[in-house]
Structure 1
Amino acid sequence: MRFIIDAQLPPSLADWLAAKGHDADHVATTLSLAAPDQAIWLVAAQQDRIIITKDRDFAIWASERRSGPQVVWLRLGNATTLSLFAWLGPRWPEIEARLAEGVHLIEVRL
Structure 2
Amino acid sequence: MDAQLPLALAEWLRAQGHTADHVFELLSVDAPDQAIWALAQDQNRIIVTKDRDFAIWAADRRSGPQVVWLRLGNATRRMLMEWLEPKWL
The bucket for the TM-score relative to the shorter chain is over 0.9
How many correspondences in the alignment? Answer: 89
Q: Which of the pair is proportionally richer in strand?
A: 1
Which residue in 1 is equivalent to 2:78? Answer: 82
**CA offsets, 1:43-66, max 9 Å, x none?**
000111000111111001000011
Residue 32 of structure 1 deviates from its aligned partner by 1.9
Question: 1:13, 1:90 → 2: CA distance?
Answer: 14
* 5+ residue gaps, structure 2: none
Distance in 2 (alpha carbons) for counterparts of 1:41 and 1:25: 14
Q: How does 1:1-110 map to 2 (within 5 A)?
A: 5-93=1-89
Give percent identity, aligned residues only: 69
Per-residue CA distance 1:18-41 (angstroms, 9 max, x = gap): 011011000111002211000000
Give unpaired runs (5+ residues) of structure 1.
94-110
User: Hey, what's the Cα distance between the residues in 2 that align with 1:36 and 1:42?
Assistant: 10
Give the TM-score taking structure 1 as reference length. 0.79
TM-score, normalised via structure 2 length: 0.97
